[in-house]
Amino acid sequence: MSPKVKKLFILTVGQTGSGKSTLHNAAGGHRSTTSSVDSDPAECGTTTFEFTVDGITYIVVLIDTPGIGDAGQNGQSLTDQEIRHEIGTFLQKENIRKVNAIFWIVKGDKADDLMVSELS
Ligand SMILES: Nc1nc2c(ncn2[C@@H]2O[C@H](COP(=O)(O)OP(=O)(O)OP(=O)(O)O)[C@@H](O)[C@H]2O)c(=O)[nH]1
Ligand SMILES: [Mg+2]
């Protein structure tokens, strides 16, 4: 029986300093293969890790992105439009044609009342 493998691409977005790269490092752990995550916060990068559940091996590729939604705070003076363009260019370069999920990372103290009420 051939092993079943599923590859999942997850885009992580959020404001500068929200914890995207920290999540990548934690998720990847020592088994991760990391490319350029946080070597430059203005660039995209990937962290890959895998796990097996019920005989299916999931290969998860987390895609790190520059801080977005906090114009002028990201240190690189990139506009959100430029960041979206950079993400698109990176996905093309890596031949990633679709992402399976988008994680929106929010710093705890930035969560507003609406988000809290939606979560509860
Ligand atoms: N207290 C606390 N600090 C965190 C957490 N996640 C990240 N940090 C800290 O927040 C700072 C920024 O985290 P990063 O993971 O670099 O944030 P980022 O979203 O990758 O930021 P950019 O790449 O600049 O967009 C670091 O000093 C982290 O140690 C968290 O869950 N709790
Ligand atoms: Mg980062």
CA distance 28 to 20: 12
Domain holding 21, by residue range, is: 4-119
Reduced to 3 states, what is the DSSP secondary structure of residue 35? strand
SS3 content of the chain, % helix, strand, coil (to 5): 30, 30, 40
What pLDDT, in 10s, does the model give residues 30-62? 555 555 555 677 789 999 999 999 999 999 999
Residue 85's pLDDT is 94
CA distance 61 to 64: 10
Residue 108's pLDDT is 78
Select the highest-mean-pLDDT range: 29-33, 79-83, 99-103.
Answer: 99-103
Give residue 116's pLDDT band: very low, low, confident or very high (50, 70, 90): low
Q: Name the closest-CA residue to atom 29, ligand 1.
A: 22
The pTM score is 0.83
- The helix (H) or strand (E) run that includes residue 119 is helix 113-119
User: Of 15, 16, 21, which is best to mutate to test ligand 1, by the most ligand atoms within 8 angstroms of its C-beta?
Assistant: 21
Q: What is the CATH number of the domain that holds 37?
A: 3.40.50.300
CA of 44 to the centre of ligand 1 (A): 16
CA of 103 to the centre of ligand 1 (A): 15
Count of domains observed in the chain: 1
